[in-house]
Chain A
Amino acid sequence: MTPAPAVPLEVAEYLHGLVLGERPIAWLAVDSAQILVAAGGALAAHGLDAVQRGRPAPEQLWFLEGLLPPAASPFRLQHVQTTDGRAADLHLFVAGDRVWVVLIDSATERDAAQRVQQKAYDMTLLSEREARLISELEAANLELKRTYEALEESNQRLARELEEAANYVRSILPPPVAGRTLTADWLFIPSTELGGDSFGYHWIDTEHLALYVVDVSGHGVGAALLSAAVANTLRAEALPNTDFRAPAEVLGTLNQIYQMEEQNNLFFTIWYGVFHKRTRVLSYASAGHPPALLVPDGARSAAEIKPLRSTEPVLGALAGIKFVQHEWTVPRRSRLFLITDGAFEIIKSDGSMLELDEFVELLVESAPSGKAELDRLVGVLRSLHGPGPLDDDLSIIRFAL
């Protein structure tokens, strides 16, 4: 092995000065009784200028507590810092019965290492925080997804139940009739929500035909249930002590039974009529409902169409109302239309609402040919409304009497 070349004295002195200038060094010697026996070098640079020889070392030099005698020789600790901000590499080695303690200033290296480490730890903490936030976000998203799926399932179940309810409402509507004495057709378009329209017609006896249409306030299952209940009551003629041939009496009894306080605050409008086949007299009463529209054969203007109206308030809101019964003789080959307000309270594409008078005009224009007339009517109404579902149930019942 080639021996290391000798360093010229000038070079050695230069290096010695350079190292000591940049990294001040202090040294201390401690005997076997841990008494400080020697101290020298740049003691002030290390804050050790007040140390006293002949006194216990750990008492003056805290950093030596527990380090004497050293676990190994040499023993080195890097960047030992005191509260005044100084930093030193600490070297302990044993020589004879003494432990030498050498402190080499490391403040510059400590500061450089601290800057790098600070940056690295800041980045690590940031990415840890980011990972935690992402994890929390993912958990929140998962929870949201589960909630959405549960909601979706609930909505689908609700939609199925609404569909079943709508099917029931439709199932209790009477079938169209095409007879010699009576022709009846109808058109029923429920709104997107389940609505409160219902209607019916049936022979009370061989002479008297009952005709009725009901519209419960609001939408939804509650309105549909009440509407179906009222229609079933009328169809089954299930009102006590009531002559179903007497419309005012029928409405009076209905009003007693279906007071809104007992019907979840729902009230309804109704038009109820009885057509006497032999005399052709139509008796009717109404509670807050749009008029039935009687169109004589060959009517050429709206003025010829007879609105069969009454002015009593809605049914179920006030107890003890006396309903007025009206009568009107129906000319042969007339058409009679029972409607709900959804048939004419249609928002037109220009934002205005169709009026009843405008609806009446449509009846003048309609060709009197049964179901085709209803199809044409609804086509016109839909074109007036524009695309999208109607806002309310639409019911039109057409009789040819």
Chain B
Amino acid sequence: MALQKKICMLGAFAVGKTSLVRRYVDSIFSDRYLTTVGVKIDKRMVTVSAAEVSLILWDIAGEDEISQVRTSYVRGAAGYLLVADGTRPATIDVAQSIQQRVEGEVGKLPFVVLLNKHDLQSVWSVSAGDIAALQRAGWTVQMTSARSGEGVEEAFQTLAERVIRGQ
């Protein structure tokens, strides 16, 4: 049996978590926004250091002003992708808040920060200074676009390697 690892997608609502999974697993993208209720579970195989690893992707409903991400969904995860929307700077604050809660309640886990919707340059609102500040805090930041595929493979691969290395 191939190694299996649970990976969670976390972030504010409508930042593109489901679209990133669709791009990563099925290589498709839809402009239509469909909100996620609960959690959607999907799977993709990756190769890390010549070993086949099955990533079990938990695409968890986004956080909004009323409901927080339930960390119970994160239990048993080997790592997570923290997704923010580069056209909505407030979603970075949400990502920071989620990261602190996960670390407090579940413990330290490998994670990568994705600044998604990088294709929307005309409304992109995250400056190089903002990104540098996140990096100074020790975060690995990856620009992604579920629409174009930019950075998506790299993000999942980076996390998978960290998860396996951290075993």
**A66 contacts B75, C-beta separation under 8 Å:** yes
Partner pick for B75 among A59, A71, A81, A82, CB 8 A cutoff: A71
Query: Among B31-39, B93-101, B132-140, B147-155, which stretch is in contact with chain A?
Result: B31-39
Q: Pick from B4, B39, B43: contact of A79, CB below 8 A.
A: B39
Contacts of B61 in A (CB 8 A): 117
Is A36 interfacial (CB 8 A cutoff)?
no
Q: Which residues of A contact B40 (CB under 8 A)?
A: 81-83
| Bound-complex Cα distance A59 to B43 (A) | 12
Interface size class of B (residues with CB under 8 A): 20 to 34
| CB contact between A80 and one of B1, B13, B33, B38 (< 8 Å): that residue | B38
Establish whether residues B38 and A81, one from each chain, have CB atoms under 8 Å apart when the complex forms.
Answer: yes
Closest residue of B by beta carbon distance from A78: B38
- Report A-chain residues with C-beta under 8 Å of the C-beta of B9: none
B residues within 8 A CB of A120?
A: 64
Chain A interface residue count: which class? 20 to 34
A62, B72: Cβ atoms under 8 Å?
no
B43 touches A62 (CB 8 A): yes
Top 9 A-B residue pairs of the complex, sorted by shortest distance between their CB atoms: A66-B76, A79-B38, A66-B6, A65-B56, A81-B40, A114-B37, A65-B6, A113-B37, A118-B35
Residues in chain B within 8 A of chain A (CB atoms): 1, 4-6, 13-14, 33-35, 37-43, 56, 61, 64, 72-73, 75-78, 88, 123
Query: 20 A-B contacts, Cβ less than 8 Å apart?
Result: A59-B1, A63-B41, A65-B76, A66-B6, A71-B72, A71-B75, A71-B76, A75-B72, A77-B39, A79-B37, A79-B38, A81-B39, A81-B41, A83-B42, A110-B38, A114-B37, A117-B37, A118-B34, A121-B33, A125-B14
Given pairs A106-B38, A124-B13, 12 additional interface contacts (CB within 8 A): A59-B1, A62-B56, A63-B41, A66-B77, A67-B75, A77-B39, A77-B72, A82-B41, A83-B41, A83-B42, A87-B38, A114-B34
